[in-house]
């Protein structure tokens, strides 16, 4: 057992790997070279189109013990990962690791295949039932949760070798040129799949919208794609992207958004060149709405919006409030429609978005990011992976990446969620270190991290309700009572990897 | 001494490398893995902008004996390579190899630095005086001529390691996002520079058009760029791209173009989905004009135009004759203007364009390409590198790549050039093997290669003047007299590398 700099006890080894304990957000230097893969040759006339998924798996050379990946742009509408695993099972392969960019509740269909030994573990975070069952000891399946930037890093450094990447390609030609912009399963940006296309040892494009002529715009080019396969449906379009993402109407959420906007205003960052990221949640969008108004009123021309993109950010681009959107993932249909036609709505790889081990990720240029939390501790450490029942229910996404990059990282969260206080002495799991978090905004006040002393003073001067984080914690506990501590066994079932490849926390089996 | 399959005698070693003799166009398989380079880390707040080129060279870690590269999108207007070499000399570095995508007459300024030992050789083809002086033994400077696809291959396989790439960036921000679309030195596509950005051990963006906000569209992203430097001028805009490229008015050229169009028509390839490449020469454009008329009249919807792009192809895109342009290099201002605004005018890397060692280059999908020649032999081998005086005066460009890829490779050339016959018993230098050439079109008739028997019969049926290639040779020689054989010494001064890395010919010092 080892302990990292946040005092979190970690196993020395997990899932066949040596654990490097988390130290701090910025100082770990990469060692060695980029990962590589075999060279190949395709002559004129060589065909790539194969009859079905089974033939593609056979052609790919996938064997038991290897690792596959898919991307999660189709989110909870994705049919591909389930299809692929079913075929892998049909072929009798076992002990396959999954290194997808994320796994969603729809992939609970994989549970029988985990039990059967077809899947032996996840080199990525999971959303939903799989994580819950692993937390409860009902599934024996190690999980290493990675941030979006950290996943790109793990492929680029060779820490994770993807033997076969199956890339859901909403628009694809017979030679493998693809984009996500058009077709029945259009998802917009293919940002997470770029690294797979460049580093997987074999790349299979899977489409439900095949064309003969070269598909344009080309997001991933033919020169990276080994095989092409047609399937009936990549997924359920109703669940791939939402038709609308909505600003919260909840008065608590709206109060939080107003406070968050006041923090941004007080920070001095809201000037020409402002860059901004939010998620797609109702509070995030409410903050975006506030920011949009402030920018319009003060005639501020921002530089870029970044990360997962909503129609809300598309409006801001079209109103001239941003010059560019850098889009790693489209959150709604309006974003999908925009990225297919607007040269300033720019598709971006997860590597360029958030990988700490390249020549400079986009998150490094962020002025402000609005992030969520399931729990926050009095050192500003944030948990987004486990719920207060101890179950591993959520993937990290770009949370730690954007927090590390942005000049101002704001966590917006209600002080209470149901009967549970959000701010605690310690979080169940650390996802994002407090050192990269600047401000916590709740409906009952704002806590500012010590390293942001000037901002704190400015907020006090502006009579924004700044509170000590311990005070907020106590206020919450007065209402809910002290939260009942969850009891865990010693058995580690998952690791939370920080973006630089060190381990920031371990998830243990819940005692029930 | 070894001999390749075309009977060309080659040295066993040259410029520190073992010579692999050319065998055939399609069968050499790549061995091993993609080249790699050190991982790096840039934290938020780290600056990339350096005060001047000297500081960038120092920061890059360039030392004597290393290799640098630039791209040639600025063509004969390029100021950067000369600037860089001058600074390298100022820093006292020696024995530097140049692996640029091409070198132009303007780079004759490098000659004193070659003589001084600052530059010790070229890992790329050269246009102009440097090659002439090397051919005459006046410069001791080995040259390895590579095709555009072959250069990409050499970086990707690691056969050539570029220690520092200096990328001329007509539009660039302080963090290295760049495109070639805008600014005083706008050149359009940065196609040749992509491989450098991905494989050079250090990447320096050099710009005369720096902006603070992220530049969009992003052609090469910040995540690949280590340093950014501002200079006064990247080049002479009048020479970077021509304002217009013109169809020939020469009756000989127009006759050749008409015959070439008849060949295309007879080939059966001119149907919906037709894909096409031409160069920017007057005859090529005249062929394009013929093809455009035939497509319009028959209401044919082509799939794509490819390679170096002219305004002529932009018109065809906008008229709906092509769905897409895949652009590795803009040949005129109209192409530059188009690529910056039209999502179907698609920037393409040299790798995707033409590298034989990837999962399938764009040339593999070409129906027809129109190419030039300085000499052709009776086996259809083509020379574009040396002139009939034996001097190495031209780079290969995409000649061998497109010829190997296209279903129909047409060489257009006048039977005589000045007082010299174009068709000969043997060419001075083999650039492109005859096996990849289908038809030679001259103003006095058309020679069809033996492997295109059906096409030959169809042309005869259509009463197009098909001639035996020996007959054409004799006709030319009757007019000009037998060409005087050039005398060479045994000293090899340059190699002509085929796209797969084998050596198709050697260039020897001319006896004078």
Tokens of B343: 């999502």
Q: What percent of chain B has pLDDT over 70?
A: 100
Q: Where are the domains of chain A?
A: 2-7+50-123+160-240, 251-488
Chain A residues within an 8 Å CB radius of B348: 218, 221
For residue A314, CA distances in Å to A305, A319, A320, A341 come to 9, 9, 10, 12
Query: How many whole angstroms separate alpha carbon B491 and alpha carbon B488?
Result: 8
B489 close contact with A: CB closer than 8 A: no
* Residues facing A67 on adjacent strands: A97
- Two tokens, residue B445: 């008739």
Which residue in this structure is represented by tokens 């192409």? B335
pLDDT attached to residue A360: 97
Q: Tens digits of per-residue pLDDT, B265-312?
A: 999 999 999 999 998 889 999 999 999 999 999 999 999 999 999 999
The pLDDT assigned to A279 comes to 84
Residue B348 touches chain A, beta carbons under 8 Å? yes
Q: pLDDT tens digit string along B395-405?
A: 999 999 999 99
| CB of A392 closer than 8 Å to CB of A492 | no
Q: What distance in Å separates residue A45's CA from the closest CA in chain B? A: 7
Nearest CA in chain B to A365: B44
* Cβ distance of B303 and A225 shorter than 8 Å: no
CB atoms < 10 A from the CB of A395, how many? 28
Residue B155 near chain A (CB below 8 Å): no
- b/e per residue A221-247 (b: at least 16 CB within 10 A): bbbbbbbbbbbeebbbbebbbbeebeb
Residues B327, B314: Cα–Cα separation, whole Å: 10
pLDDT at residue A205 is higher than 90: yes
Say which residue, A484 or B447, is predicted with more confidence.
B447
Cα nearest neighbour of B41 on chain A:
A357
Does any CB of chain B come closer than 8 Å to the CB of residue A328? no
Closest listed residue to residue B289, CA positions, set B309, B322, B316, B325: B316
Query: Residue range A37-53: average pLDDT?
Result: 97
Nearest residue, CB atoms, A352 vs list B221, B344, B355 = B221
Please indicate whether residue B419 or residue A12 has the higher confidence score (pLDDT): A12
The mean pLDDT value for A448-475 works out to: 97
**Ramachandran angles phi, psi of A447, nearest 5°:** -105, 130
How high does pLDDT run on average in chain B? 96
Chain B residue with minimal CA distance to A500?
A: B41
Q: What is the pLDDT of residues B207-230, one digit of tens each?
A: 999 998 799 999 999 999 999 999
Q: CA-CA distance, A152 to A504, in Å (whole number)?
A: 18
Contact B39 A30 (CB under 8 A): yes
Q: Are B183 and B336 in contact (CB under 8 A)?
A: no
What is the Cα–Cα distance from B358 to B241, expressed in whole angstroms? 30
What is the token pair recorded at A442? 């709740």
Q: How close A383 comes to chain B (CA, Å)?
A: 23
Q: In chain B, what percentage of residues exceed pLDDT 90?
A: 94
**Torsion on CA atoms A370, A375, A379, A380, rounded to nearest 10:** 0
Interface of B with A in 269-288 (CB under 8 A): 273
**pLDDT per residue as tens digits for the range A312-340:** 999 999 999 999 999 999 999 999 999 99
Cβ neighbours of B169 (radius 10 Å): 33
Element (H, E) at B257: helix B251-267
> CB A213 to CB B44 under 8 A?
no
Contact A111, A133 (CB under 8 A): yes
Give the pLDDT mean for B402-423.
95
Rounded mean pLDDT, A136-160: 98
CB pairs under 8 A between A and B: 206
Contacts of B343 in chain A (CB under 8 A): 216-217, 340-341, 343
Distance separating alpha carbons of residues A283 and A267, to the nearest angstrom = 19
Cβ neighbors of B482 (< 8 A, separation 6 or more) are: none
Closest Cα in chain B to A37: B33
Residue B406 with chain A: CB contacts under 8 Å? 44
Q: State the Cα–Cα distance between residues B23 and B3, nearest whole angstrom.
A: 10
Question: Among partner residues B216, B326, B362, which is closest to A346 by beta-carbon distance?
Answer: B216
pLDDT (0 to 100) of residue B210? 98
C-beta of residue B357 within 8 angstroms of C-beta of residue B108: no
Say if B45 is an interface residue toward chain A (CB within 8 Å): yes
Q: Do B364 and A43 touch (CB under 8 A)?
A: yes
The answer to whether B8 and B504 have CB atoms below 8 angstroms apart is yes
Residues 6 or more apart whose Cβ sits within 8 Å of residue A181: A170, A171, A188, A217, A219, A336, A339, A340
Q: Does A320 touch chain B (CB under 8 A)?
A: no
- Give me the pLDDT at residue B476, please: 93
A41/B33 Cβ within 8 A:
no
Q: Other C-beta atoms within 10 Å of B64: how many? A: 14
For CA atoms B14, B20, B24, B27, give the dihedral sign. Answer: negative
User: ipTM of this complex > 0.90?
Assistant: yes
Q: What local confidence, expressed as pLDDT, does residue B246 receive?
A: 86
User: In whole angstroms, what is the distance from residue A108 CA to residue A90 CA?
Assistant: 18
In this predicted model, what pLDDT tens digit does every residue of A261-289 receive, in sequence order?
999 999 999 999 999 999 888 999 999 99
Q: Which among A371, A445, A375 is positioned nearest to A409, based on CA atoms?
A: A371
Q: What pLDDT is stored for residue A112 in this prediction?
A: 98
CA distance A94 to A114: 10
Contact B226 A341 (CB under 8 A): no
Assign B358 a pLDDT band (cuts: 50, 70, 90).
very high
Point out the residue among B41, B223, B355 whose CB comes nearest to the CB of A351.
Answer: B223
How sure is the predictor about A54, in pLDDT bands with cuts at 50, 70 and 90? very high
* Partner-chain residue, chosen from B29, B32, B340, that has the shortest CB–CB distance to A41: B29
| DSSP H or E stretch at residue A118 | none
The pLDDT tens digits of the residues spanning B91-120 come to: 999 999 999 999 999 999 999 999 999 999
| Residue B85, CA distances (Å) to A45, B53, B105, B116 in order | 43, 10, 15, 12
Q: What is the pLDDT of residues A382-430, one digit of tens each?
A: 999 999 899 999 999 999 999 999 999 999 999 998 889 999 999 999 9
Instruction: Report the candidate in B383, B504, B402 with the shortest Cα–Cα distance to residue B149.
Output: B402
pLDDT by residue (tens digit) across A167-185? 999 999 999 999 999 999 9
Q: SS3 of B488, please?
A: strand
A459, A447 Cβ separation under 8 angstroms: no
Nearest CB to B358 within list A40, A213, A340: A40
A483 DSSP assignment: P
Give DSSP secondary structure letters for A194-229. Answer: HHHHHHSSEEEEEESSEESSPPSS-SB-GGG--EEE
B129: number of CA atoms within 13 Å, CB side?
10
Q: How far is CA A241 from CA A37, A283, A331, A450, B469, in A?
A: 33, 19, 6, 39, 62
Domain A251-488 architecture = 3-Layer(aba) Sandwich (3.40)
Average pLDDT over chain A, rounded to an integer: 96
Nearest residue in chain B measured CA to CA from A47: B360
* B143-197 tens-digit pLDDT: 999 999 999 999 999 999 999 999 999 999 999 999 999 999 999 999 999 999 9
Residue with tokens 């089974």: A54
**Any residues with CB less than 8 A from the CB of B384 and at least 6 apart, and which?**
B371, B372, B373, B374, B394, B396, B397, B399, B431, B432
* Mutate which: A24, A159, A216, A502, vs B, most B CBs within 10 A: A216
**CATH class belonging to B251-486:** alpha beta
Q: Beta strands A96-98 and A304-309: pairing type?
A: unpaired
The DSSP bridge pattern shows strands A119-122 and A171-173 to be unpaired
Which residues on adjacent β-strands are paired with residue A182?
Answer: none
Is it the case that residue B462 has pLDDT exceeding 90?
yes
A363 in contact with B at a CB cutoff of 8 Å? yes
Question: Is the confidence at residue B244, as pLDDT, over 80?
Answer: no
Measured between CB atoms, does A158 come within 8 Å of chain B? no
Contact: B363, A44; criterion CB under 8 Å: yes
For an interface test with A, the pick among B156, B199, B214 (most A C-beta atoms closer than 10 Å) comes out as: B214
Chain A residues closer than 8 Å to B32 by CB = 38-39
What is the pairing mode between strands A488-497 and A503-510?
antiparallel
pLDDT digits (tens, 9 = 90+) for A81-107: 999 999 999 999 999 999 999 999 999
Assess whether pLDDT exceeds 90 at residue A485.
no
Band (B327; pLDDT cuts 50, 70, 90)? very high
Q: Does A251 touch chain B (CB under 8 A)?
A: no
The top-level CATH class assigned to A2-7+50-123+160-240 is alpha beta
pLDDT at A281: 87
The pLDDT score that the predictor gives to residue B237 is 83
Q: What is the mean pLDDT of residues A190-217?
A: 96
Inter-residue contact B189 to B339 (CB < 8 Å): yes
User: The tokens of B330 are what?
Assistant: 């803009």
Measured CA to CA in angstroms, residue B125 lies from A206, B78, B158 at distances of: 40, 16, 18
Note whether A4 contacts B: Cβ–Cβ < 8 A: no
Asked if A32's CB is within 8 angstroms of B39's CB, the reply is yes
From A274, which residue of chain B is nearest by alpha-carbon distance?
Answer: B213
CA distance B234 to B236: 7
Q: What pLDDT, on the 0 to 100 scale, is given for residue A47?
A: 95
Residue B390 pLDDT more than 90?
A: yes
Residue of A213, A369, A404 to mutate, testing the B interface (most B Cβ within 10 Å of its Cβ): A213
3-state percent breakdown (helix, strand, coil) of chain A, nearest 5: 30, 25, 45
R_g of chain A computed on alpha carbons: 22
- Using a CB-CB distance cutoff of 8 angstroms, which residues of chain B are in contact with residue A225? 359-360
């Amino acid at each position: 057992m080892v302990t990292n700099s946040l005092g979190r006890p970690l196993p020395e080894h997990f899932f066949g790997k040596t654990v490097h304990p988390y130290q701090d957000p910025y100082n770990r230097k990469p060692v060695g070279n980029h990962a590589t893969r075999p060279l190949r040759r395709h002559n004129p006339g060589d065909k790539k189109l194969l009859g079905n998924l089974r033939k593609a798996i056979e052609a790919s050379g996938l064997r038991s013990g290897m690792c596959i990946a898919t991307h999660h742009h189709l989110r909870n509408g994705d049919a591909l990962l389930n299809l692929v695993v079913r075929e892998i099972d049909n072929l009798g392969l076992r002990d396959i690791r999954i290194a997808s960019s994320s796994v969603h509740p729809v992939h609970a269909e994989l549970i029988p295949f985990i039990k059967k030994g077809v899947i032996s573990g996840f080199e990525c975070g999971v959303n939903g039932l799989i994580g819950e069952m692993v937390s409860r000891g009902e599934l024996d399946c190690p999980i290493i949760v990675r941030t979006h930037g950290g996943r790109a890093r793990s492929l680029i450094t060779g820490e994770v070798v993807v033997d076969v990447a199956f890339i859901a390609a909403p628009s694809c030609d017979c030679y493998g040129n693809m984009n996500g912009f058009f077709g029945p399963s259009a998802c917009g940006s293919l940002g997470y799949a770029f690294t797979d296309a460049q580093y997987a040892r074999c790349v299979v494009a899977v489409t439900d919208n095949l064309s003969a002529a070269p598909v344009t715009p080309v997001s991933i080019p033919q020169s990276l794609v080994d095989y092409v396969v047609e399937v009936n449906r990549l997924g359920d379009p109703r669940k791939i992207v939402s038709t609308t993402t909505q600003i919260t109407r909840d008065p608590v959420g709206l109060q939080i958004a107003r406070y968050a906007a006041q923090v941004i205003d007080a920070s001095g960052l809201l000037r020409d060149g402002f860059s901004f990221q939010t998620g797609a949640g109702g509070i995030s969008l409410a903050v975006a709405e506030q920011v949009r108004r402030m920018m319009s009123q003060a005639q501020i021309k921002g530089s870029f919006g970044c990360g997962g993109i909503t129609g809300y950010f598309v409006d801001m681009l079209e109103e001239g409030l941003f010059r560019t959107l850098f889009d790693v993932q489209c959150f709604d249909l309006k974003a999908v429609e925009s990225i297919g036609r607007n040269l300033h709505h720019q598709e971006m790889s997860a590597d360029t978005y958030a990988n700490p081990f390249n020549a400079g990720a986009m998150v490094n240029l962020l002025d402000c990011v609005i992030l969520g939390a399931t729990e926050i501790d009095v050192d500003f450490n944030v948990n987004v992976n486990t719920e207060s029942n101890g179950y591993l229910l959520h993937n990290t996404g770009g949370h730690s990446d954007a927090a590390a990059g942005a000049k101002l990282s704001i966590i917006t969260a209600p002080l209470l969620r149901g009967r549970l206080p959000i701010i605690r002495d310690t979080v169940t799991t650390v996802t994002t270190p407090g050192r990269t978090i600047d401000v916590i905004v709740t409906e009952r006040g704002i806590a500012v991290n010590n390293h942001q002393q000037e901002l704190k003073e400015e907020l006090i001067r502006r009579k924004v309700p700044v509170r000590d984080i311990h005070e907020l914690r106590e206020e919450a506990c007065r209402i809910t009572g002290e939260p009942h501590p969850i009891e865990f066994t010693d058995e580690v079932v998952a690791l939370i990897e920080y973006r630089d490849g060190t381990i920031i926390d371990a998830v243990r089996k819940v005692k029930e």
